Structure 1
Amino acid sequence: MDYKSIAEKIIELKNADFILREKLLKSGKLSEGYDEEMKELHDKNAKILNDIIDTIGYPTIDKVGREASEAAYLVIQHAIGQPELMKKGASLLKTAVSENKADAQNLGYLTDRIAVFEEKPQLYGTQFDWDENGNLSPNLYDNLTKVNERRKSLGLNTLEEQAEIIRKRAKNENQMPPKDFEKRKQEIKQWKKNVGWTK
């Protein structure tokens, strides 16, 4: 198996994602909902990565190296319109983490993202969204003390520290809260239903 060229391919997928994000950020479109071009790229990347996973299993560090393994996680994390792939990725990543072949922090982020889409409380507080006051705040979680304990177990900072970092970055990137909070909330709810995250 030519793991080197597979690793290069996975890194290419991640780079295409970053390039498009930068383009949308510069044009001010990043805060305007799920951009169609971004959606198409995420779906395309997800399909390519899914084929790779079907061929080699999860792209673990020992197979493709740390950079490509991180890139694979990122593609899965962004495959938000593909619930089955995200869940499959989380399951495979969980096994890889238990064998010390992938990063536990990535599993924390992916677990939280799936929980948020399924409208369940997140465990690590890694997922943020705009609240009704126009601030970026963590999505639903169970208990701050427990969240911070779990974050610490993954080597993450506290949720309060992370909130400051996230808000500062959004400000530096000129990201703006949605003009109509309720409308956006309804759009997200409908989107979750349409792609199969919720019933």
Structure 2
Amino acid sequence: MTGACGSLGDVPRSGAEARRRLQQAALELYRERGFDQTTTAEIAARAGVNERTFFRHFPNKREVLFDGEADLRAALMEAVAEVPDGLQPLEVLLCAFQKAGRILEENRPFSEPRLAVIAATPALRERELAKAAWLTEAVAEALRRRGVTGRLADLAAHTGWAAFHQAAQAWIDDPSQSLDAHLRQTFDDLRTLSGAG
């Protein structure tokens, strides 16, 4: 259908599609121009929507790169809960991170440049640290629900999250191995460090 505004073929037909296009447009612009030099109006224009549509989906241009945080939190807590009984806390976390890591692997074309943009942008690094703290607390809570004591649950969650982060970076740097392989290697390294390897 065409009209005064031209073809409507490129207009996103659903909220999910508009959201996806806004995320992709933002990532492209942040890589081209930098986060600070990019406006929400430019993101909306690149995605083929108006700025009001942008703000229906995201409160600001920073949050475009942090969409899905609540889903990841829920997935991690569920993954920790589903691990069979009888495993030590770090083994529980390895199993949970292997399951959650599939989300990253499925979204590698977005995940990889997203991490690069965050690494290059102080405001985004600060937001990433806040996200990590929130997710780490969720993991600790999931461990406590499994009966791990408070102090050990916190230590395991922080250690496990650091290992997950290191494995994800190794996977970005060396895509010849799967994220799962990098996770297993990183947790093996943890056991070696603790003298349990």
**TM-score normalized by structure 1?**
0.31
Higher CA-based Rg: 2
After TM superposition, the score normalised by the length of structure 2 is: 0.32
